[in-house]
Amino acid sequence: MQAPDPVYRMKTRRTRQVRAGQLPDLGERPLVEAICQSSAYAFGDAAQADDWFASGQPLYSRDRLPNVRTLERVVAELEGAEDAVAVASGMSAIATTLLALLRSGEHVIIGEDAYCETTSLLLMLADHFNVRVARVDLNDPTALDAAIMPDTRLVLAETISNPGLRLLDLPAVAALARRRGVLLAVDNTFATPILCRPLAFGADLVIHSAGKFLAGHSDVTAGVIAGSGALIAQLKQSSHLYGPVLAPMEAWLTTRGIKTLLPRVTWMSQSAGRVALWLADQPAVEGVNYPGLADHAQAVLAARLLPQGGGAVISFRIRGGHEAAAAVIHHLRLIPYVPSVGGVTTIVSFPPQMPPDLIALDSAPPRCEGGMLRLSLGLEDPADIIEDLGNAFVLAGKDAPTLASRNGS
């Protein structure tokens, strides 16, 4: 009897996200990949090492030992990329992308609502390496087109911005970048390849802070970049020299987490939609920002870009400003304050903001209004999350009466 075709078994997304990265070897093998903890390979002599390396095999941890290479194959497959490179953190992934692609004097464009530390890194590059940076409303085609200069090398964007939760009009931005001969790199951390695959819309690179939703259990720090073989080869060379090495255990944990990515993201998105609807009807809440809401400012784009759900992250503004929001956090019992996203536990935090010195340097106002909170839904029953939030609103309202009325004090 002929062995089944391994390609046939990998056609559907649901099967791919469980089996991605597994080599089509139908012989005896461990069901779960072993952790190769060694930082280097040993050989009988130098000639054997040369032959091994010439065949594309690793010699040393910076060459990407087996667990790291498996993770790279998995993410490349899920994002529809030719290859990927895994590094030690999400910021390492962004730094590797920038350092590999930019040269002194070149120009890079970033979204005006980009993650604060991404902006901080670019401003540091501008200061240290003579890289010019422009912050632009990427969804304004006229502004973006005008911002692209002859020496613009890269547009760096986010599928769903952190923490503003603004969607990128990927098809339009990708088409404009391609027409002007500029690379487009998209941070897809909040959407994940379950909700959106930027390369399919025309992006050149896709970036993940992989310790968030991909790994999914708040026990990993990792980053991954996926794209064409030629671009990833450049990034691999740079990361080999700069040395942001991803440890085998972290790579293994991230690969394991990806096996449950589809049900986790689906469940979290459903919970987030339910919680967002409830928040929108609370007197203590001034405004809710969630791409899955029907009245979201970008609802039409969300339907095209995120047809499977709006993701797990909600931002909402508490009446009474920062002190009122802090009171809500204080009275939460089930939901902990954690400055992160993406785990199986629902968590809340104040959104990340630009430090004052960098705000002044960039001549841009703070992005997060007072009283804004960021909620990352986990796998709990949303009814329990709603109950905890409701109790916190009531108790915080006793501390600050403005929470108890839509009209305020």
- CATH (domain of 33): 3.40.640.10
Lowest-pLDDT range, 5-19, 56-70, 108-122, 286-300? 5-19
**pTM exceeds 0.85, yes or no:** yes
Instruction: Find tokens 């839904």 and name the residue.
Output: 377
- 158 located within any domain: yes
What is the reported pLDDT for 362?
Answer: 46
Q: Is the pLDDT at 27 greater than 70, yes or no? A: no
Query: 227 and 354: one domain?
Result: no
Residue 367 belongs to a domain with what CATH number? 3.90.1150.10
Euclidean distance between CA atoms 374 and 316, whole angstroms: 7
CA 105 to chain centre: 28
Query: 121 and 240: one domain?
Result: yes
Higher pLDDT, 409 or 94: 94
Q: Is the pLDDT at 3 greater than 90, yes or no? A: no
Last residue of a domain, one of 258, 290, 309: 258
Q: What's the average model confidence in pLDDT over 379-395?
A: 97
- 146 located within any domain: yes
Euclidean distance between CA atoms 108 and 394, whole angstroms: 47
Query: 317 and 225: one domain?
Result: no
β-bridge partners, 313? 376
Q: What percent of the chain has pLDDT over 70?
A: 88
Query: 206 and 281: one domain?
Result: no
Average pLDDT, the chain: 89
Query: 150 and 58: one domain?
Result: yes
- 252 located within any domain: yes
Confidence of residue 237 (pLDDT cuts 50, 70, 90): very high
Domain that holds residue 244: 8-258
pLDDT tens for each residue of 125-176: 888 889 999 999 999 999 999 999 999 999 999 999 998 899 999 999 999 9
Query: 247 and 293: one domain?
Result: no
pLDDT tens for each residue of 186-203: 999 999 999 999 999 999
Confidence of residue 218 (pLDDT cuts 50, 70, 90): very high
Residue 226 contacts residue 210 (beta carbons within 8 Å)? no
What is the reported pLDDT for 157?
Answer: 97
Tokens of 285: 């809440």
Confidence of residue 15 (pLDDT cuts 50, 70, 90): confident
The residue count of the chain comes to: 409
Residue 51 identity (one-letter amino acid): D
Query: 353 and 243: one domain?
Result: no
Q: Is the pLDDT at 307 greater than 60, yes or no? A: yes
Q: What's the average model confidence in pLDDT over 329-345?
A: 96
Query: 280 and 222: one domain?
Result: no
pLDDT tens for each residue of 270-283: 999 999 999 999 99
Query: 288 and 171: one domain?
Result: no
Domains in the chain: how many in total?
Answer: 2
Query: 120 and 108: one domain?
Result: yes
Query: 254 and 266: one domain?
Result: no
Last residue of a domain, one of 232, 258, 284: 258
pLDDT tens for each residue of 343-374: 999 999 998 865 555 544 444 434 445 789 99
Last residue of a domain, one of 258, 278, 313: 258
Residue 289 phi, psi (nearest 5):
-120, 110
